[in-house]
Amino acid sequence: MKFHEILEQRKSQIAEKWLKAVIETYPDEAGKFLFENKNQFGNPVGYTFSVRLPEILDELIVPTDPQKLNTAIEDIIKIRTVQDFSPSEAVGFFYLLKKIIRKEYHHDEKDKMLFGEVLDFESRIDQAVSLAFDIYVGLKEKVFEIKAGEVKARYGKMVDRLNEKYGERE
């Protein structure tokens, strides 16, 4: 049996464990709320995780649509970018998946072909981490641009008024 077939068979259990591990990166009460309530409107963050993590897992197991993977990662990174996570924590949820996969699958080192497939799968996870980090950096830049624009707008008007009031006395 091929490694991707093993993962396909266990996909729902792996996705549920991954979701739980990601939720555990949040403080206790927030994590509890995110995990228990997956209503799209009552808990959009929990809903996004519960929908997007399985999509990411699908694309990592059998890559079919790079845009689907990109969109799913971006939706999660948008959330984690504006929360109190360091860059490594924001994208680190992929390493939780690696840990789960390693626990779920105890490979036989004699089976070199299967071991190679495990390494290929982990390489896809590593590529997804790189993509997530690129998305994170791009989103952080946008957040800083928005904040700078707000500061400029707020204080720029004040400077203009001061110039109007005191600049004419020259």
The pTM for the full model equals: 0.81
User: 136 is in which domain, residue-wise?
Assistant: 3-143
Mean pLDDT of the chain: 87
- Give backbone dihedrals phi and psi of 122, rounded to 5 degrees, phi first: -65, -30
> Of 61, 40, 53, 41, which Cα lies nearest the Cα of 120?
61
Total tally of structural domains belonging to the chain: 1
Domain contains 148: no
Domain contains 55: yes
Domain contains 85: yes
Domain contains 163: no
Domain contains 160: no
Would you place residue 169 in the very low, low, confident or very high pLDDT band (cuts 50, 70, 90)?
Answer: low
Q: What is the pLDDT of residue 124?
A: 95
